[in-house]
Structure 1
Amino acid sequence: MKWLNREHKRIAVFGCGNPLFGDDGFGSAVIEKLNQIKNLPPDVVLEDVGTGIREVLFDYILDPSLRPRKIVIVDAASQQGRRAGEVFLISPSEIPHEKVHDFSLHQFPTVNMLSELAEGTGTEVIIVAVQPESIPESVCPGLSQSVAEAVPLACNIIKKIIFDESEVR
C-alpha cells in the first residue's frame, strides 16, 4: 500500500471506508475536511486509507519506529440503539468480544490488530465512529444528510484530540 508518510508521527488519523458506498465514505469525508486545517502540527498525519487500514496497522505492529503515540480511526460503524448520524467514541477494548462482528467496522478483524497495538505497545487507539443511515450493497456515492451533518462534529472531536495533545507536550 502506498501511503503518505513513512516516518514516525505522534498522532496518526486514518479515515476508513469507501465513498462509493453511501455513508461508508464518512472516514474519507472527515479526512478531506481535516486536511483544510492550516496550523496542523507537523508530527500529525491525516490519511484517507479507504479500505486498506489493515496494511497500515500491520506495518505499525511490525515496525516500532513507525508507531505513533496515538492512532485515531474514523469510520462508519453500526451499533444497535444509536441514531443515524450519531458520532461516538470507542476503544478496541470497549467492543465486547461477542459483538466484534456486530460492530461493523467492515467486519473489523482489524479489532484484533488495534487491540494488539493498544495493549501490546502502549499506543493509544481511539475510534471516532458515526452511526450510518445507509451503506448500500451496490455503488451509490454520497453521504446521507444525517451523516454529512455529522462530519463537522467528528472533525471538532479530532481537532480537540490533536491540539489538546500538542499543548501537553
Structure 2
Amino acid sequence: MEEAVLVAGVGNIFLGDDGFGPEVVRRLTGEGGLPERARLVDYGIRGMHLAYDLLDGYAALVLVDAAPVGTAPGDVAVLRVGPDDLGGGDLDAHGMAPVAVLASLDRLGGTLPATYVVGCHPATVEEGIGLSGPVSAAVPVAMAAVRDLARRLCAAAPAADGRG
C-alpha cells in the first residue's frame, strides 16, 4: 500500500517546548489512530531527512511543530501552508529549519505537497528537556487534530492504483 500522507514531528527535544512535534508523534505512535496510508515520523532536527523523504511523492504533508500560532502558550492551530508562505531556504546538510526544508524541495527535484502545520504556541524554547504545562496539556488536542486531518487527507488522496 502506498502512503499518501506524511505526518512529520519536528523540533528539538533539548529546547523545552520546541520538542512539541516529537512528543505528539511519540504519543501517536503509542496510541495509534491514523489511517493505513499515513506515515508517522519523528524527524526531530533532521531537516534534510525530511526533505529527502518528501521526494517520495506524498499527496500531503502534516508538519507538527511548536510555532507562534496563537496568543497564549498551549494554543493549537491548523494552518495550510503554500509555497508563497515559505520564502527562500538555504540547504544545509547538518540541519534545516522546517521552512527552509520545504522551500528547498524544488532545488532537490521535488514539489511541495499539500502542506499543513499543526502548531502549538510555545511558552519557552530555552535549554531544557520537557514541555511546559500549557504545551503538555495541548498534546492531546494536537493529536486529535492530526488524526482528523490525516483521515481527511488520506480519503481525498488518489489510490496507488489511480482509482481515487
Question: Which TM-score band (shorter chain)?
Answer: 0.7 to 0.9
Q: 5+ residue gaps in structure 1?
A: 1-6
CA distance in 2, matches of 1:106, 1:165: 24
Question: Residue in 2 aligned with 1:4?
Answer: none
Question: Residue in 2 aligned with 1:12?
Answer: 6
Q: 5+ residue gaps in structure 2?
A: 90-95, 157-163
The amino acid that maps onto 1:89 is V
The 8 Å contact of residues 65 and 118 in structure 2, kept in 1 or not, is answered as yes
For these two proteins, the number of residue pairs brought into alignment is 148
The offset of 1:95, in angstroms, is 3.4
Question: Residue in 2 aligned with 1:123?
Answer: 113
Residues 167/148 of structure 1: CA separation in 2 closer, same or farther (3 Å cut): same
Question: Residue in 2 aligned with 1:68?
Answer: 58
The 8 Å contact of residues 11 and 21 in structure 2, kept in 1 or not, is answered as yes
Alignment TM-score, normalising by the size of structure 2: 0.75
Q: What is the SS of the residue equivalent to 1:49?
A: strand
The offset of 1:109, in angstroms, is 2.0
Q: Which runs of 4+ in 1 moved over 6 A?
A: none
Residues 30/109 of structure 1: CA separation in 2 closer, same or farther (3 Å cut): same
Of all paired residues, the percent bearing the same amino acid is 26
CA distance in 2, matches of 1:60, 1:166: 16
CA distance in 1, matches of 2:12, 2:142: 17
The amino acid that maps onto 2:71 is R
Question: Residue in 1 aligned with 2:25?
Answer: 31
Among 37, 40, 48, which residue is 1:43 paired with? 37
